[in-house]
Amino acid sequence: MSNDTLIPPAQQTPEARTGSRALAITLGVVGGVVILGTLGFSGLYAAMGAARPGSGEFQTLTSDVTGVSGVEINSSAGDFRVEFGNVDEAVFNGVTDGGTWTMTRHGDTLVIDSPRRWFTFGIDWNFDSTSTLVLPRSLDGVDLDVSISAGSFGAEGEFGDVSYGLSAGDFSISGSARSLDADMSAGSSMIELSGLQTASFEVAAGDLWGDLRGEGAPDEIDIDVSAGSVELQLPDVPYAMTRESVFGDISSNLDESARATRTISVELAAGDVTLTAG
């Protein structure tokens, strides 16, 4: 015979019962919000998907170029191309996905801006669109300033001062220019320019390849690499070269002379810089 005494379960106090009900209500509300949020985002994704290229609207813009000495392009995504053609004014053709491209004059500068998206959740809804800017041949030698957030950019022709900032994606340019100022956060660049007097390359990360041979040789080249790689092909002439490397490798077969009038400065934190003559 057992003498164990059964102890009745302790009854919840009013405060404990109130806390349990509050917790249950809170969990129910949070669960409902998650479900509604998921359904809402799914619906938004489907709706925004309908605005992708293929269902977007084709847009054409034109502008008189009288007095224009510079072109500024700000592209957030997609594929952008600049070329010269037999036209009397600047002609832009592109695809919109709910926003609109703009082409305006700011003094002597022609400015092209991509559509502004108020909410994209980090998704590029216009990733495969193609935009083209055709410039009159009368603008040969025009300055070019480009800002690329993502996607790709390509230009071909005769330019004056060229500068670009690349956050991500691909940049390419070919032809001739007076000067080049390259600023890369990430991505890749391909440069084929002759006639440069000065060139500056600042690479935080990514890969840059350049062929600067052709008419003449640059008087001054500055290279600053935090990480990544820079490979340049240069005219076979003497250069006065200074270099500083923390981690990484600087390789050069250039004809170096302290008395040379053309200068090259290389600062490398990590990565590789390769300079090839010829």
Say if CB 142 and CB 70 are below 8 A apart.
Answer: yes
* Long-range Cβ pairs for the range 113-119 (8 Å, 24+): 113/74, 114/74, 114/75, 114/76, 114/77, 114/78, 115/76, 117/76
The pLDDT-based confidence of 98 (bands split at 50, 70, 90) is low
- 33-55: pLDDT as tens digits: 333 333 343 343 333 333 344 45
Q: What is the pLDDT of residue 96?
A: 72
Encode burial over 136-161: b for 16+ CB neighbours within 10 A, e otherwise: beebeebbbbbbbbbbbbbbebbbbb
* Amino acid found at 265: S
Q: Say yes or no to pLDDT of 125 above 90.
A: no
Q: Say yes or no to pLDDT of 176 above 90.
A: yes
Distances, alpha carbon 68 to alpha carbons 107, 131, 178, in Å: 8, 21, 17
The pLDDT-based confidence of 216 (bands split at 50, 70, 90) is confident
- Of 7-11, 16-20, 35-39, 70-74, the range with the lowest mean pLDDT is 35-39
Distances, alpha carbon 71 to alpha carbons 106, 202, 257, 269, in Å: 10, 22, 38, 33
Determine the 3-state secondary structure of 237 from DSSP: coil
Q: What is the pLDDT of residue 128?
A: 57
Q: State the residue for tokens 């004809």.
A: 255
> What does the block give as tokens for 274?
């390769």
- Of 34-38, 129-133, 149-153, the range with the lowest mean pLDDT is 34-38
Residue 130 bridge partners (DSSP): 79
How far apart, in whole angstroms, are the C-alpha atoms of residue 57 and residue 22?
A: 51
Mean per-residue pLDDT of the chain: 83
Residue 64's Cα: distance from chain center in Å? 28
